[in-house]
Amino acid sequence: MSQITSAQFASASASGTDWRDTSKAVLEKLHEANTTGIPYNFGFLYISDYLAEDADSILNLFRSVLNIENWVGCTGVGICGNGVEYIDQPAISAMICHFDESDFCVFPLAGTDAALPGKNVKAWLEHNSPMLVYIHADPLAKTDPAHTLQQLDTLTGGYVTGGISSARTKHVQFAGNISDGGVTGVIFSQDIKVATALSQGCTPIGNAHTITRGAENIIWELDGEKAVTVFENDLRIMAMKKIDRDPDHIVLDSEVLENAEAVPEEFKSLFKGEIHAAFPVSQSDQNDLLVRSITGLDPREGSLSVGQSVSTGESVIFVHRDEETLEKDLCAMLMGLRERVKRQTGTFAPKGALYVSCLARAFSDKGEKKHGEMKLIKDIIGDVPLAGFYASGEAAKGHLYNYTGILTLFL
C-alpha cells in the first residue's frame, strides 16, 4: 500500500481480495489526508478490471466517505500508485485534489452522449481557456476514440492526453457517474499549471523510409524496393549491432522470419514482438512516433501488414523495443521533464502526478508480469501523490499512441 500527501493533492493505492477490503484500505489512507483541512473536491479513480462489476459500489462509497462528487477514471488490467504497480490483481489507486470549481469541467455528465463532448463543455469554454484535457476512452465504443480525440482537440485547443481503458471483460469509466462508451474526462483551465512528457520506449533501427506503394494497412514498397527486403536489411543492421556479427554472415530471409523454429537461438530475442513500425507525428517538435505492430509478412509479394492505415508518400521507420530501451528512454524522459520544469518555474516541486502506461509495458514477451517502472518514476520525481493505469492505447497531443508512458505533473 502507498499513501502520499502534498499541498492540494493526496493519493493512496492498495490491493485486496475484493472491492470492500480494497476500498477500505485506500479510503483509510485518504481519510487521514482529508483531516488536514484541505477542501478536496475532485478525484481521479482507477480500479483493476477484477473490480469492474462493483464499480458503482466503489464510486458511491468513495463519494460518501470523502464527500467528493467529482470523480474521473477508468478500469485497467494494471493500475499505478506512487512507486508501485498492481498488475493482474484486485486493486484501486486514487488521487484526491483541490481546485477552484471554475477551473475544471467534467464531461460528459449523466444524460449526455458519451461519444461526444457534452453541452456543458461548450458552455464552460465560453468563459475559460483550457490548458489540459485529460481523457479516458472505451476501446469498444461505437465511435472511434481517435475521431473523438480530434474533435476535442479542435473544440478545446487544449493539450489532450490520457488513455484508453483496458479490461478482459467489462470496461468502465468514471465521469461524474458511471459512463459506458465514448470518451470522457475533465478539462482544466490555464490557471491549473501542468507539465507533461511522453516516453516512447523504442530505439530506431535504421533510417526513415518512404512508402512508395501502400494502401489500407499494407505496405508493398519502401524506397522503391519490396517492403520485406528493406525490413530484412534493417534487421541485419540491428542484429549486427546486438550480437556483433558481420551482416553478410546473417541470413534473415522471409522464410526464416515466418518460421520461429528456424530462427537461430542467438536471433530469437529479435523476433518476439520487439520490432515495430513507427510513423512520425506531423508537426511534432519532439520527434514523436506513432508506434504500431507489424501484423503480417507476405514473402511472395514482399509486403508488410501494420496496425495502421497507410498511404503512398508517408514515412515509416522500424524500431526496436525491449526492457532495456524502455528503461533508458523512460529515464531520459523523466530527467528531461525535471530540467524543463526547473527552467520554467525555478524549482522542481510537483504537487501531484498522473501516469498512463501501455499495457504491453506491464508484461514481458512471455506474458510474465514486470515491475520497476513506477519505482524508477518515484526515484526521479520523488514522493509525489500519483495515480494512473495501464492502458490499451495512450493519448497525447490529440493522437493515439501505443507502447508509450505518459506522465502529467500538476505544478
CA–CA gap between residue 265 and residue 58 (Å, rounded):
49
Q: How far is CA 312 from CA 63, 153, 220, 315, 373, in A?
A: 52, 26, 10, 9, 37
> Where are the chain's structural domains?
2-200+325-410, 203-320
Beta strands in 202-312 (DSSP E): 203-204, 209-215, 218-222, 225-226, 275-280, 289-298, 303-306
* For the chain, the helix, strand and coil percentages under 3-state DSSP, each to the nearest 5: 30, 35, 35
pTM: 0.83
CA–CA gap between residue 267 and residue 27 (Å, rounded):
49
CA–CA gap between residue 76 and residue 311 (Å, rounded):
33
Are β-strands 159-164 and 130-137 bridged in parallel, bridged antiparallel, or unpaired? parallel
CA–CA gap between residue 167 and residue 391 (Å, rounded):
9
Tens digit of pLDDT per residue, the chain (411 long)? 566 777 799 999 999 999 999 999 999 988 877 666 789 999 999 999 999 999 999 999 999 999 999 999 999 999 999 999 999 899 999 999 999 999 999 987 444 454 455 677 778 888 888 889 999 988 887 777 777 777 777 778 888 999 999 998 889 999 877 776 678 899 999 999 999 999 987 788 888 898 888 888 889 988 888 888 888 888 877 766 665 555 455 444 444 444 444 444 444 444 455 788 888 876 555 567 788 888 888 888 888 888 888 888 888 888 887 778 888 889 999 999 999 999 999 999 999 999 999 887 766 555 555 567 899 999 999 999 999 999 998 988 878 888 889 999 999
Sheet containing 352-358: give its strands across.
Answer: 84-87, 78-81, 386-391, 352-358, 405-410, 194-199
Residue 339 contacts residue 372 (beta carbons within 8 Å): no
**341 CB-near residues (< 8 Å, 6+ apart):** 195, 348, 350, 409, 411
